[in-house]
A and B are shown apart, each in its own frame.
Chain A
């Protein structure tokens, strides 16, 4: 079908498309752009990972061995910003670019040039984030942002040049995400194959639709917040200064109005792809498609009105504390619906455990721990003890590593044969899975205990009684970091060659994306299919 329509291509100039580096700089093709997003994400995953391994090495023993506390602070802040904005978000956007047009039967994204711009904004932002490290080596400035990724005032008002770099990196990343979101919404609303109603649309697209709306609602508020931070730093305003009538807590409100929905921005694309994987490897249709759609929407809406649970100890009035506690806990209802649907999809299925399925099941179990510890943290009375402790660090790594990054790995293993036309090595994939799951728990499970015992986060040194658990955690983190090299090698191997993948790739797949060849032709659905759903 595709060769036939290609001959009719009225523009006919595709043969002259640039090759080499120019192909990637100039491309307007959703698959090329998706590949760039995924590659960038993998690269930055290792950059952010290297930073945190240095941190864990410092924390291996009490006392200061490797670095000054200032540099330690820079590493943890930039680690978080890199992992969130330059590793996880681009990976999800890469999935969206690759898969949404294939799934909904679209010829490409709705706004292809804008799509390219969205990607090429990322490298400048990553350079801005990390450049201060390099400048400091030449005696310019005092290094990267050292406030933690939350940039709380007044610390960030007083901080060095690294804060300015971080502010503009966030601005550029924000533009990138908003352009990407606009494109995804326009694609989903305008480019679906005839016959595909919104409710029949694949859940991955639904997860991204809610994500994109959340990004458009919340990212501009973060942009406004860091702009006020910039004027407080350099132009004499007093937004976050009580002497002028302002309030540092105002920054926390603005930051977390973005920051909490950001968690769902990172997780919703993964929640969207899970049902596809579970349904494929249990050879059963997804359980509760409509219920999952409404859960996504409910989580998106609730996610916008619970932000202050990130600073319950900041001195908010009691009615506000109660409101934010109950509203936060109410999110567990739609989330429980999702868990139920995932498990019900597997119920009595003809299950097989290829690597993507292993990651999916691992995700469900470990992400469940993130959800349950989140409930504990939302409790105002209990939070007074847990706040700003390693319990929080462990909680959000269970949420964002297993919920986010393991979800991305699920998707990569699931779709890689479709993208490259080759099967990856199942043996290496399984090795990667088991090493990742075991070492992840080895790294982060002790941190729950450390937090309960009272170890505060964001410190380079600690009291002696925390030594054993920190040593275990550091050993775990190095195994975790090094096992990701297997992941990278497996991807590289799969791109280079290997056993040919069939069009449907897996036995239990359903959906338009599996009707195309593996890899799909340069212009996937040049003529739209008709959805049979």
Chain B
């Protein structure tokens, strides 16, 4: 297996995962190139979120392998995968509701993860500068002392994007980051993502093809837990199989 790993940034091979006999991910393989924004699309139940779960360690695959920069990360704990530079944003925005916006961003600045060393640190070096920059980017500068549980839905989405930015991972896994956002907020997200993909690798799960059109370098279509098609958006839109899946002409299994 090791022979074909060279050059791949994130490489997924023959991944399988079933929940209670239901095969959710079925022999799925994927290559992700560095500094590209890759969209995972597909109908409900295609296995998009499960794929993100498997990469980030929330779920362990039944079989198959995932390599990040040539290192096998299959089956590692969530925190170990995160430390290797994988950041994640959840479908239902997961922020720390009892903490202030500032504290949410501070805790996400996780360059030092050792519990013992963190006992003797009141502040993390470089955190304040980064926090000011990220807060500006996600437009929460005026809300830093607000309790995160009191934010509006859009602001909560922004905060979680801000947390991923504070974490500064090499690869970002974003699960429906614009769900529930207004048109203006979506425009701003597009702006940020297009800037971010010059320096980061991004995998993004999305339903909304109009949004995908504005950001995607590569589109990957999942169907029934396997890769159905991959390519530029134009190629995908021309693809007969993809049309069949999306228009529902194919018989359901």
Q: Do A and B come from one complex?
A: no
- Please give the residue numbers on chain B whose beta carbons come within 8 Å of chain A beta carbons, in ascending order: none
